[in-house]
Amino acid sequence: MENKIYVFDTTLRDGEQVPGCQLNTIEKIELARSLEMLNVDIIECGFPASSPGDFNSVVEISKNVTEPVICALTRAVESDIDAAKEALHYARRKRIHTGIGTSDYHIKYKFNSTREEILERAAKAVGYARRFTDDVEFYAEDAGRTDNDFLAKVIETAIAAGATTVNIPDTTGYCTPWEYGEKISYLVNNVPNIHKAIISTHCHNDLGMATANTISGIMNGARQVEVTVNGIGERAGNTSLEEVAMTLKCRKDLPYYTEIKHKNIYKTSRLVSTLMRMPVQPNKAIVGRNAFAHSSGIHQDGVLKNKESYEIIDPMDVGINDSLIALSARSGRAALKHHYERLGINLTPDELNEAYRKFLMLADRKKDINDADLRVIVGVNRNEATRRIRLKFLQVMCGKNSVPMATVKLNIDGEICQATSSGNGPVDAAFTAVKKLINRKIVVEEFLVQAITRGCDDVGKVHIQVENRGNTYYGFSANTDIVTASVEAFIDAISKFI
């Protein structure tokens, strides 16, 4: 049996069903392109019969994304399949994903039907979909709670009707890994025509076992996994793409592989989080902020001597540029030095001693020490004098019922230049004016304003992350005027690549 595992991404369909995570068509195309760069094999991009918006997104993604197979979901209903066929018209390679509930819960309460009728409807839907494409996937909804004997009959019927992939969803996230693996194995051994189709996993995470169930499915014969980026999806979500892809990459003893371009994982995770306004939990495996952060002195020392002491994955493999050695009062000098080097600040031994003394004082008062704090310790404006770009003047106009405007004067290599711009707020207006003067493609990826204490006369700290030509640069500044701090931080980041 082939050991390639096909990655079927359903971020744009099952993932997008999360309340509040709906995307417009432009955002969906952006995400679909990013999934294409990640090299997923199949993108399920919507349920065309469900709304004109979904229909349109499938049409537009079909036009704009060419490498992966484009898939549309339907119920076992002819009009749904007609809508999918139409929406997929422009797709270079298309798949219709049709199916029906097979557990007794679904048969009795959802359909008020019988097993015989379900078999008939499954066969009819698959046969109808096959009129439009040779690539038809059948799902047995709630397969996780479907009795294996009946499930085997449904799957046999769907394959006989022309299904080329058979999806075994644990719709309610009820199965244990052992049970789910057994289910797949049962189908491999009891469905006579199973060799004519690929078995797919589709696990939900209600009991936190979606990834484990998916891996167990693979080990028992499944060769396609249905996943979402960051594991987003209804309720507790779906199996996370990055967890499965990295498990298969990292566990060399498992003889399976995906063709995912791992280095694009982190970037795609950030995009999904931003577009769907869904923060990633800090301790989320692979892509969480703390996934590679070592905080105890013993771990830090071990990692600095040899990463593999405490890291099973090199963060660079998923596109994170460095392991985040978290700094706290328990960190040693080696960790501090490492961080300064990471920021491009090389300290002499005396400077390091002095910085370490200040660092310990600060760490006593503050739990997490970040890059901005490190810069403050050695002097915020340490490299300002050597910067090619400096802010000379900034004036903003904003307020209720007025168009925010900003005028910015920069000193670039000794030459003074000025620009004025409007924006959706004073910071946006000022950034746009700066961009006019810099004339490079700069994308603000992250922008964070923090107050150091709680008063309104407080110093605001601004952290910013910008992207230029595929690289990420960080900037920081602090000022009692947060618009000035924002522009200074923006210029700080830009100065790293100018």
Q: Which does 242 bind (CB under 5 to 8 A by kind): ligand KIV, Zn ion, none?
A: none
| Residue 340: CB minimum distance to ligand KIV, A | 48
Q: Does 169 bind ligand KIV (CB under 6 A)?
A: yes
The minimum distance between CB 172 and ligand KIV, in angstroms, equals 8
Q: Which is nearer to Zn ion, 14 or 54 (CB)?
A: 14
Shortest approach of Zn ion to residue 218 CB, angstroms? 18
Q: Please pick, from the candidates 54, 80, 135, 141, the single residue that binds ligand KIV as defined by CB under 6 A.
A: 141
Phi, psi of 467 (to 5 degrees): -120, 135
**Residues counted in the chain:** 498
Is 460 near ligand KIV (CB under 6 A)? no
**Smallest distance from ligand KIV to CB 35, Å:** 17
The answer to whether 393 and 399 have CB atoms below 8 angstroms apart is no
Q: How far is the CB of 98 from ligand KIV (least distance, A)?
A: 10
Sole window of 163-171, 214-222, 397-405, 476-484 interacting with ligand KIV (rule: CB under 6 A):
163-171
How many residues bind ligand KIV (CB under 6 A)? The answer is 8
Binding segment for ligand KIV among 115-123, 164-172, 182-190, 355-363 (CB under 6 A)? 164-172
Give the residues across from 446 on adjacent strands. 465
Closer to ligand KIV by Cβ: residue 8 or 359: 8
Q: Say which entry of ligand KIV, Zn ion, none residue 214 contacts (CB below 5 to 8 A, set by partner kind).
A: none
Q: Least distance to Zn ion from the beta carbon of 139, Å? A: 8
Q: How far apart are CA 475 and CA 165, in angstroms?
A: 48
Residue 472 contacts which entry, ligand KIV, Zn ion, none (Cβ below 5-8 A, type-dependent): none
Query: Mask 197-216, x = binds ligand KIV (CB under 6 A)?
Result: -----x-x------------
Per-residue binding string, ligand KIV, 311-350, x by CB under 6 A, is ----------------------------------------
Q: How far apart are CA 156 and CA 257, in angstroms?
A: 27
The β-bridge relationship of strands 42-44 and 6-9 is parallel
- Determine the longest span between alpha carbons in the chain, in angstroms: 82
**Least separation in angstroms between CB 265 and ligand KIV:** 23
C-alpha–C-alpha distance, residues 73 and 49, integer Å: 9
Among candidate residues 194, 160, 200, the one with its CA nearest the CA of residue 180? 200
Minimum distance from residue 357 beta carbon to ligand KIV (Å): 56
- Member of 9, 14, 60, 492 binding ligand KIV (CB under 6 A): 14
Please pick, from the candidates 8, 55, 138, 139, the single residue that binds ligand KIV as defined by CB under 6 A. Answer: 139
Selection from Zn ion, ligand KIV, none that 240 binds (CB < 5 to 8 A by kind) is none
Between 101 and 475, CB nearer to ligand KIV: 101
Q: Closer to ligand KIV by CB, 137 or 156: give it.
A: 137
Closest CA to 237 of 263, 199, 276, 200: 276
Binding site for Zn ion (CB under 5 A): 14
Q: What's the one-letter identity of residue 309? A: S
Nearer to ligand KIV, 136 or 326 (CB): 136
Q: What angle do CA 233, 237, 241 make, to 5 degrees?
A: 85
Q: Which of 11, 74, 171, 205 binds ligand KIV (CB under 6 A)?
A: 171
Cβ nearer to ligand KIV, comparing 169 with 315 = 169
Closest-approach residue to Zn ion (CB): 14
Q: Which two tokens stand for residue 369?
A: 């020490």
Considering the rule CB under 6 A, would residue 239 count as an interface residue with ligand KIV? no
Which of Zn ion, ligand KIV, none does residue 460 bind to, with CB < 5 to 8 Å depending on kind?
none
Q: Which does 141 bind (CB under 5 to 8 A by kind): ligand KIV, Zn ion, none?
A: ligand KIV
Nearer to Zn ion, 244 or 487 (CB): 244
Residues 13 and 232: beta-carbon distance below 8 Å? no
Sequence-separated (6 or more) residues with CB below 8 Å from residue 367 = 328
Site for ligand KIV in 396-425 (CB under 6 A): none
- Between residues 11 and 472, which has the closer beta carbon with respect to Zn ion? 11
What is the rounded radius of gyration, in angstroms, for the C-alpha atoms of the chain?
27
Interface stretch with ligand KIV, choices 165-173, 362-370, 404-412, 463-471 (CB under 6 A)? 165-173
Query: For binding to ligand KIV (CB under 6 A), which residues are involved?
Result: 14, 139, 141, 167, 169, 171, 202, 204
